[in-house]
A and B are shown apart, each in its own frame.
Chain A
C-alpha cells in the first residue's frame, strides 16, 4: 500500500527502468573493486561512492542512475559493516553521531524538497572551495590531531559529548572534548542537503568538520562519520530502490565486497597513526574538492 502511494505521488508508474546487461565476469570484477571501495570508505568515514560511481560508469558502462543507485546501497553496507566494529571498539562517539544525525537527516530531506530551487552548481563550488581550504589546514596541522585544553561548549556539556578512545597506534587512551557543537551540527545540515541533492558529500564534509571545527580526533571523526552516513544513505537508498535504479546484479557483488573490504579497513584504521590518517585523508580530500569545483562549473566530471 505504501509503495503504491509513493508510485502515485511520483507519477512514474509507466517509467521503464534503465537497463544494463551483466555477465559473471562483470559481477566478479565489480565484487573485486568493491572490496577496495569498502576498504577506503571504512578507513576515511566515506561511503566509497566516490570510487564506485566512476568505476561503474566509466569502466563497466553502467547508466548513471543505476550506478548512483548501486553506490548508495553500497554506502549503507560500508557504513553498517564498519560501524559494527568501530562502535564495539568505542572508536565511534555514539552520542555525537546521534546528535549530528538530526542535522544531516534533516538536511537530506530539505535537499530533496528544495532540489528544484537550489543552485546545485553553486553549492558544489562553495563546498569544493571550503573542502580545499580544509585540506590545507588538515595537512599543515597533521602533527596535532586535536589540541589540548579544548573547552567543551554548552551543548557539548549538556549532552555529555566528550569521550575517550584507545589508540592502538599510540598505545594509550586518548581523552578528548567536543567543542563548537552547534556550528558542526549546522554544517552537518548543509552536508545533508548536498548529499540529498547529489548523492555525495555526507562523509567527506563531516569528517573534516568534526576534526577541524569540533576538535574531535581524526580517527574518532572517521568512525563517527561511518556510523552516521548509513542512516542518511538508507533514506536515499529506499527512494532509488522504488525508482527502479537498484540493479540486483550490481547490488549483490557490491554489498558482499564492500562489507568485506570495510572489515579490512577498520583493522587498518585501528593501528594507523593519526598523522598518517590525516595526510592520506587530506590527499583524497584535495582530489574530491577539485572534482566538486569542476562539476560546479558543469564540466563533465563523474562524482
Chain B
C-alpha cells in the first residue's frame, strides 16, 4: 500500500469513528430527555471516558473527542513506520521529529 492511501485511511477511520461516537452521544442525550451537561476538566476526564462504556452521554462524546485528537498523532506515527519500512532515512527523521514534539506537547500540556 502506498503512503497516500495509508495516511488517508488512518485519517478517515479516525474521523468516522469520532463522528459516529458523537452521533451516538447526542442520541443518548436526547433519549435521556436533554439533561444538562457540563464540561469536565483534568483528572475527572479519565473517569468520564470510562463511563462511556456504561452508556453515559457525555462520556461517549469525550471518547469521540479523544479519538479525534489521537487521529493526527496516529497519522504521524503511521507515516514514520512507513518511511522506516521504505528505508527513507530523511523522512524517518522528519516524521520522528514531529512525533516527538507532539508527544512532548501532549504530555507536558504545552502548545496551548
Contact = CB atoms under 8 A, between A and B. Distances in A.
Q: Do A and B come from one complex?
A: yes
Nearest to A15: B41
A6 interface: yes
Q: Which of A10, A101, A232 has the most CB of B within 10 A?
A: A101
Describe B's contact surface by its main secondary structure.
helix
A267 interface: no
Given A27-B26, A87-B4, A109-B101, A249 B110 contact: no
Interface of A: 2-4, 6-7, 9-10, 12-13, 15, 17-19, 21-24, 27, 66, 69, 73, 76-77, 79-81, 83-85, 87-88, 90, 92, 94-95, 98-99, 101-102, 105-106, 108-109, 111-113, 115, 158-159, 196, 230-249, 251-253, 255-256, 259-260
Interface in B60-85: 61-62, 64-66, 68-73, 75-76, 79
Interface string B69-112: 11111011001000000000011001101100110111111111
> How many B residues touch the partner, as a band?
35 or more
Contacts of B29: 249
11 contacts: A3-B45, A21-B36, A69-B39, A87-B11, A88-B5, A109-B104, A234-B70, A246-B39, A247-B37, A259-B15, A259-B19
A252 B22 CA distance: 5
B98 A66 contact: no
Interface of B: 3-5, 7-9, 11-12, 14-15, 18-19, 22-23, 25-26, 29-30, 34, 36-43, 45-46, 57-58, 61-62, 64-66, 68-73, 75-76, 79, 90-91, 94-95, 97-98, 101-102, 104-112
Nearest to A252: B22
Contacts of A244: 39-42
Q: Which of B69, B70, B79 has the most CB of A within 10 A?
A: B69
